[in-house]
A = this chain, B = another copy of it.
Amino acid sequence: MSSPEQWTRPEPGAGPAATAAEPTPEQVIAGLRATTEGGAELTQLLNPEGERLASAHFDPYVSDIDAEALRGLYRDMVLVRRADREGNAMQRQGQLGIWVPLLGQEAAQIGSGRALRPTDMAFPSYREHGVAYTRGVDFKELLGIFRGTDHSGWDFQAHGFHPYTIVIGNQVLNATGYAMGQKFEGKVGDDDGEATIVYFGDGATSQGDVHEGFVWSAVYDAPVVFFCQNNQWAISEPTERQSRLPLYQRARGYGFPGIRVDGNDVLACLAVTRWALDECRHGNGPVLIEAFTYRMDAHTTTDDPTRYRLSDELEVWKHKDPIERVRVHLARTGGADQEFFDQVQADADAFAADLRDFCFNMPDPPPERIFANVYAEPSPVLEAQQREHLAYLAGFAEGGER
């Protein structure tokens, strides 16, 4: 069958019409997926064996990443993973209502997150705890969402990190608008330009809002990097339920660059995201990045992936673990010694213990919080509702149980 490249300009035969269907896209994509390699166009700087691959294009974007910096990225990933595992554990212990694990996606999140500057803005979905960490958001501030004490805790402006968005795709348009604002304010056009990055999953690419974000950003040259973490699954649905083609190729139809990066390679994610942000800073946005990675855990703690995927798949991906390859590289190249690795593990355990302590002691919010901040300017109707409910509660306090 012809390559996708040619589908754009079909060449119908001069004879009779086609008489049988070509191989289905599922079959084609199944072929692609069978490798779980991301295909020939995958950008990689550090392979699963921990070998550094040269890239004339992208090496300049990580020329500052010496052993110390790489140790930093390693540490980030280990801490974030440890905290993520603690999240799972705390959910099992009933301390959190739900947890959304990032296991396996540490490189995509740390690599892209560390590419950002303080003046940039990131719009996460709901799984970007690693990005939150790179933006200086205290991991503890994430817990309220999953414990049910608040919907979002951090100061988005101070951290350049928007609240989590749960409705799939919504944040892509919000980020595009934000990036348009950066441009309208004249903050785009040179090395000091600002940029926006927005995170979403493979499943999200089907939503109308993501498409509209692509349309808007292309029309307004918005400085926005679309960072799609293709973790191969949208809950129980594999990527071929969303697309015939590799997702980075979606950008083709809109006239801006799309690129696939090894989402388990923290160095490549850093380099590619820096490049993409740079394009945006200079007014050449938008850019789509597909980080080819894998959700190594369940969709959330309420999900049971054994119902829909084989453990073989997980085993293959374990060989491509994002942390392990950096450890091997650091060890082989003498960039780090055992003491360092031990120290990072100890730091990670302390980090998790601190989180755990905090979580177990989180107070419940007071009932008046229900009514607070619905509006920025008061609503008399709501105030009356609040008064009435608080009076009702006070009645209990006075009168005891009915």
A interface residues (Cβ-Cβ under 8 A, vs B): 4, 7-22, 24-25, 41, 56-61, 189-191, 205-212, 215, 218-219, 221, 240-245, 248-259, 275, 278-279, 281-284, 287
Instruction: Kindly identify which residue among B18, B57, B250 contacts A253, using a CB–CB cutoff of 8 Å.
Output: B250
Most buried by B among A14, A16, A41, A215: A215
Instruction: Kindly identify which residue among B10, B16, B210, B221 contacts A259, using a CB–CB cutoff of 8 Å.
Output: B10
Residues of B within 8 A of A21 (CB): 189, 221, 282-284
Given A17-B282, A21-B284, do A253 and B249 touch, yes or no (CB 8 Å)? Answer: yes
Copies of this chain present: 2
Pairs A–B under 8 Å by Cβ, sample size 15: A7-B257, A8-B258, A10-B259, A14-B57, A16-B60, A17-B282, A19-B190, A20-B189, A20-B283, A25-B221, A207-B212, A219-B244, A243-B255, A244-B256, A252-B252
Instruction: Kindly identify which residue among B17, B59, B241, B244 contacts A278, using a CB–CB cutoff of 8 Å.
Output: B17
Q: CB-nearest residue of chain B relative to A22?
A: B284
Contact A251 B284 (CB under 8 A): no
Contact B208 A212 (CB under 8 A): yes
Contact B191 A17 (CB under 8 A): yes
Most buried by B among A8, A41, A58, A256: A8
Contact B249 A282 (CB under 8 A): no
Q: CB-nearest residue of chain B relative to A25?
A: B255
A179 to chain B, nearest CB (A): 15
Residues of B within 8 A of A8 (CB): 248-249, 251-252, 257-258
Given A244-B218, A256-B244, do A279 and B18 touch, yes or no (CB 8 Å)? Answer: yes
Residues of B within 8 A of A7 (CB): 251-252, 255-258
Instruction: Kindly identify which residue among B57, B60, B210 contacts A11, using a CB–CB cutoff of 8 Å.
Output: B57
Q: CB-nearest residue of chain B relative to A59?
A: B14
Most buried by B among A57, A209, A254: A254
Contact B252 A58 (CB under 8 A): no
A230 to chain B, nearest CB (A): 15
Q: CB-nearest residue of chain B relative to A20?
A: B282
Contact B275 A221 (CB under 8 A): no
